[in-house]
Structure 1
Amino acid sequence: MTPAARLQSAIEVLDEILAGKPAEQALTGWARRSRFAGSKDRAALRDHVFDALRARRSFAARGGAETGRGLILGLCRAQGLAVADLFTGIGHAPAPLTPEEQAGGRDPAPGAEAADIPDWLWPRFEASLGARAEAAGQVMQSRAPVHLRVNTARTDRASAIAALAGEGIVAQPHPACDTALEVTEGARGIARSAAYLDGLVELQDAASQAIVAALPLAPGMRVLDYCAGGGGKTLALAAVPGIEVFAHDAAPQRMRDLPARAARAGAQVRLLDTAEAARMAPFDLVLADAPCSGSGSWRRAPAGKWELSEEKFAALLAVQREILHCAAALTAPGGVLAYATCSMLSEENDGAVQAFLDTGGWKLDDCHRWDVLSGTDGFFLALLTRTHSEF
Structure 2
Amino acid sequence: MTPGARISAAIEILDRILAGQPAEQALLRWSRASRFAGSGDRAAVRDLVFDALRRRNSHAAFGGALTGRGLMIGGLVAAGRDPAALFTGQGHAPEPLAEGEGTGAASGVSDIPAWVQPLWDASLGDLSNDVATAMQERAPVWLRVNPVKATPDDAMGALAEDGIAAEPDPRLPTALRVTENERRLSQGRAYRDGLVELQDLSPQLACAALPVGPGMRVLDYCAGGGGKTLAVAGRAEGLTLVAHDADPARMRDLPGRAERAGVKVRLDTDPAGSFDLVIADVPCSGSGTWRRTPDAKWRLTQASLEQLLALQAAILRRAAGHVRPGGCLAYMTCSVLAPENDAQAEAFLQDNPDFRQVSRHLWTPLDASDGFFLSLMERR
Give TM-score, length-normalised by structure 1.
0.95
Aligned to 2:354: 361
Aligned to 1:333: 325
Alignment of 1:255-274 (within 5 A): 255-273=251-269
Per-residue CA deviations over 1:47-85 (Å, capped at 9, x if unaligned) read 001111111111111111110001111111111122111
297 and 175 in structure 1: CA distance in 2 versus 1, 3 angstrom threshold: farther
Per-residue CA deviations over 1:234-288 (Å, capped at 9, x if unaligned) read 1111222322111001111000010011111111100010x2x0x2x20111000
Deviation at 1:175, TM superposition (A): 3.4
CA distance in 2, matches of 1:176, 1:8: 43
Deviation at 1:336, TM superposition (A): 0.4
8 Å CA contact retained: 1:145, 1:375: no
Gaps of 5+ in 2: none
* Secondary structure of the structure 2 residue equivalent to 1:300: coil
* Secondary structure of the structure 1 residue equivalent to 2:319: helix
Aligned to 2:99: 99
Structure 1 residue 132 and structure 2 residue 127: aligned?
Answer: yes
Alignment of 1:281-300 (within 5 A): 281-300=273-292
CA distance in 1, matches of 2:6, 2:36: 12
CA distance in 1, matches of 2:45, 2:171: 32
CA distance in 2, matches of 1:376, 1:310: 26
* Secondary structure of the structure 1 residue equivalent to 2:373: strand
Identity fraction in percent: 55
Deviation at 1:162, TM superposition (A): 1.4
One-letter code of the match for 1:11? I
CA distance in 2, matches of 1:178, 1:335: 27
* Secondary structure of the structure 2 residue equivalent to 1:268: coil
Count of matched residue positions in the alignment of Structure 1 and Structure 2: 378
CA distance in 2, matches of 1:50, 1:87: 20
Structure 1 residue 311 and structure 2 residue 303: aligned?
Answer: yes
CA distance in 2, matches of 1:33, 1:64: 29
Structure 1 residue 370 and structure 2 residue 363: aligned?
Answer: yes
Aligned to 2:243: 247
Per-residue CA deviations over 1:285-304 (Å, capped at 9, x if unaligned) read 10000111111111111111
Match of 2:314 among 305, 316, 322: 322
CA distance in 2, matches of 1:248, 1:176: 30
Deviation at 1:31, TM superposition (A): 1.1
8 Å CA contact retained: 1:176, 1:206: no
CA distance in 2, matches of 1:385, 1:39: 49
One-letter code of the match for 2:203? S
Alignment of 1:1-391 (within 5 A): 1-102=1-102, 104-109=103-108, 113-114=109-110, 116-242=111-237, 243-273=239-269, 275=270, 277=271, 279=272, 281-359=273-351, 360-387=353-380
Deviation at 1:176, TM superposition (A): 4.2
CA distance in 1, matches of 2:107, 2:13: 24
CA distance in 1, matches of 2:54, 2:171: 24
Deviation at 1:8, TM superposition (A): 0.6
8 Å CA contact retained: 1:262, 1:268: yes
CA distance in 2, matches of 1:40, 1:178: 32
One-letter code of the match for 1:383? L
One-letter code of the match for 2:184? G
Gaps of 5+ in 1: none
CA distance in 2, matches of 1:236, 1:363: 25
* Secondary structure of the structure 2 residue equivalent to 1:374: coil
CA distance in 1, matches of 2:25, 2:336: 28
Deviation above 6 Å: which 4+ runs of structure 1? Answer: none
Give TM-score, length-normalised by structure 2.
0.98
